[in-house]
């Protein structure tokens, strides 16, 4: 369950926002003053913050700035102020969205869902990517650009390694010679797609126990090649 903090001095608005969010499966806390809202935002474990701009004691701009200094989570700023300069300032301080009052609770929920989904995708893209590919007796170490076949290191040229890694990183997908040439060599390179066939044969000679009966790289007649797992 995602945790959301609402910092809003108008109790009726905050409660309406809370009710709609809870109906949609979110856990919601509320604060009605800027100083207490800031304290909770900095110390609590929240996935998203809905932040009013005009608050007693500490305004939304200052709260946004201080939250962004410590946390990288979605901040949705809401305000009755329609001036473009306020929106620009809020977004410039790190707010992810600026919603002008009055707005429908349904719109707020939709924006919350969209920002949480976007944030999760962003976190996923930041996750460390594996540097090794292990498929049966084959080990490809992408960081060191080394390949081991049944625990024995095998030497590859730059193009051979790139081609093998690309195919092994996209298992069970069929790539035409044109696609492979474009991805590994680029169409502005000297040569033609016949070099793909040559390199496939070289890869098979190096990784297959029986190149005439390949267990890794299949030829899909009329279509291209596939790295099977």
**pLDDT over threshold 50, residue 119:** yes
Q: What pLDDT digit, counting tens, does each position of 144-171 carry?
A: 999 999 999 999 998 899 999 999 999 9
Instruction: Give the model's pLDDT for residue 190.
Output: 46
Q: Of 90, 124, 158, which closes a domain?
A: 124
Instruction: Give the model's pLDDT for residue 72.
Output: 84
**pLDDT over threshold 70, residue 122:** yes
What CATH number is given to the structural domain containing 211? 1.10.10.10
Torsion of CA 168, 172, 174, 178, to 10 degrees: -10
Residue 37: pLDDT band by 50, 70, 90 thresholds? very high
99 and 138 share one domain:
no
106 and 165 share one domain:
no
Q: What percent of the chain has pLDDT over 70?
A: 94
Structure tokens at 206: 């190096």
* Residue 188 burial (10 A CB sphere; 0-12, 13-18, 19+): exposed
Q: How many Cα neighbours within 13 Å face the side chain of 120?
A: 8
Instruction: Give the model's pLDDT for residue 64.
Output: 94
SS3 11: helix
Q: How many domains does the chain have?
A: 2
- Rounded CA gap, 37 and 7, in Å? 6
Residue 127: pLDDT band by 50, 70, 90 thresholds? low
Instruction: Give the model's pLDDT for residue 130.
Output: 62
Rg (CA), the chain: 27
Domain that holds residue 20: 2-124
Q: Which residues pair with 220 in a beta bridge?
A: 224
6 and 101 share one domain:
yes
78 and 36 share one domain:
yes
- Residue 128 contacts residue 96 (beta carbons within 8 Å): no
- Residue 216 contacts residue 209 (beta carbons within 8 Å): no
Produce one character per residue of 101-132: b if its CB has 16 or more CB atoms within 10 Å, e if not: eeeebeebbebbbebbeebeeeeeeeeeeeee
Instruction: Give the model's pLDDT for residue 227.
Output: 95
101 and 25 share one domain:
yes
What CATH number is given to the structural domain containing 7? 3.40.50.2300
Q: Of 124, 152, 167, which closes a domain?
A: 124
C-alpha to C-alpha distances, 126 to 113, 118, 129, 165, 182, nearest whole angstrom? 20, 13, 8, 21, 27
Instruction: Give the model's pLDDT for residue 63.
Output: 95
- Residue 8 contacts residue 78 (beta carbons within 8 Å): yes
Q: Of 69, 92, 124, which closes a domain?
A: 124
Q: How many Cα neighbours within 13 Å face the side chain of 22?
A: 12
H/E/C letters for each residue in 45-59? CCCEEEEECCCCCCC
* Residues in the chain, overall count: 229
């Amino acid at each position: 369950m995602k945790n959301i903090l609402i910092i809003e001095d108008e109790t009726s608005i905050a409660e309406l926002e809370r009710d709609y969010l809870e109906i949609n499966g979110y856990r919601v806390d509320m604060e009605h003053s800027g100083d207490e809202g800031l304290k909770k935002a900095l110390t609590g474990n929240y996935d998203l913050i809905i932040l009013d701009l005009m608050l007693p004691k500490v305004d939304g701009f200052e709260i946004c700035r201080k939250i962004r200094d410590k946390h990288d989570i979605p901040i949705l700023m809401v305000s009755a102020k329609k001036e473009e300069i306020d929106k620009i300032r809020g977004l410039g301080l790190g707010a992810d969205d600026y919603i002008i009052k009055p707005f429908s609770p349904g719109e707020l929920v939709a924006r919350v869902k969209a920002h949480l989904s976007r944030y999760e995708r962003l976190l996923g893209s930041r996750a460390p990517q594996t540097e090794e590919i292990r498929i049966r007796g084959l080990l490809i170490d992408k960081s060191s650009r080394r390949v081991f076949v049944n625990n024995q290191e095998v030497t590859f040229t730059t193009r051979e390694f790139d081609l093998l890694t690309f195919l092994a990183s996209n298992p069970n997908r069929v790539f035409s010679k044109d696609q492979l040439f474009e991805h590994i060599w680029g169409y502005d390179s000297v040569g033609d797609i016949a070099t793909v066939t040559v390199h496939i044969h070289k890869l098979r000679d190096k990784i297959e126990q029986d190149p005439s009966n390949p267990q890794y790289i299949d030829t899909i007649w009329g279509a291209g090649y596939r790295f099977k797992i």
